[in-house]
Amino acid sequence: MIDRAEALELVRENVDNENLVKHMIAVEAVMRALANKFGEDEELWGVTGLLHDLDYSETVDNFSRHGHRTCEMLEGKLPDEALHAILAHPAHVKAESRFDWALYCCDPVTGLIVAAALMHPSRSLAGLPLKSVKKRFKDKHFAAGANREQMLTCSELGMERDEFLELSLKAMQGAADQLGL
């Protein structure tokens, strides 16, 4: 399997949008936390999170190719279960495994938390209280692109919404340096 340093290099080679690179790093952080919570393979889940939008620059105007192209780029570099999760995150295939659901629900939560941090007086993840993230979640007009229904599929992992928001916030606070927030 590709290691973390190689994965990040691949991201840097293929993704020129710095915000998207940060999004992928944020998803990695949440995936690692979820893997730890469930006793799954942290490295596998983390690296898959880091790579999940690898094709974005190429497929931004062609959503039906999003994920498929990433799988082509990563063939032989990640196991099949990871490629399945990557295909399931834009719902091209049905999410089935815990791995699939984890990537599916943590994709949008990172956008909500970044937006909440930017709007918080501290403008930082460290200063962002969970209470504020919960309030932002309930405000449908705030970061409207961050799909709340998709986040709520954390129930497929047996997690309540607030527990999921807390885990995600803590995970991203742990990656604050890399996220520049």
Interface residues with Fe ion (CB under 5 A)?
Answer: 53, 107
Cβ-contact 66, 56 below 8 angstroms:
yes
Minimum CB separation of residue 52 from Fe ion in Å reads: 6
Q: Which residue, 109 or 169, is less far from Fe ion as judged by CB?
A: 109
* Cβ burial 86-114 (10 Å sphere, 16+ → b, else e): bbbbbeebebeebbbbbbbbbbbbbbbbb
Q: Which residue, 17 or 122, is less far from Fe ion as judged by CB?
A: 17
Q: Which residue, 53 or 100, is less far from Fe ion as judged by CB?
A: 53
Minimum CB separation of residue 121 from Fe ion in Å reads: 28
Give the residue from 91, 57, 61, 85 showing the smallest Cα distance to 71. Answer: 85
Minimum CB separation of residue 49 from Fe ion in Å reads: 9
Please state, in angstroms and rounded to a whole number, the distance separating the CA atoms of residues 19 and 24: 9
Cβ-contact 113, 172 below 8 angstroms:
yes
Minimum CB separation of residue 118 from Fe ion in Å reads: 18
Q: Which residue, 55 or 107, is less far from Fe ion as judged by CB?
A: 107
Q: Which residue, 60 or 129, is less far from Fe ion as judged by CB?
A: 60
Please state, in angstroms and rounded to a whole number, the distance separating the CA atoms of residues 167 and 84: 24
Q: Amino acid letter at 55?
A: D
Cβ-contact 22, 179 below 8 angstroms:
yes
Minimum CB separation of residue 27 from Fe ion in Å reads: 6
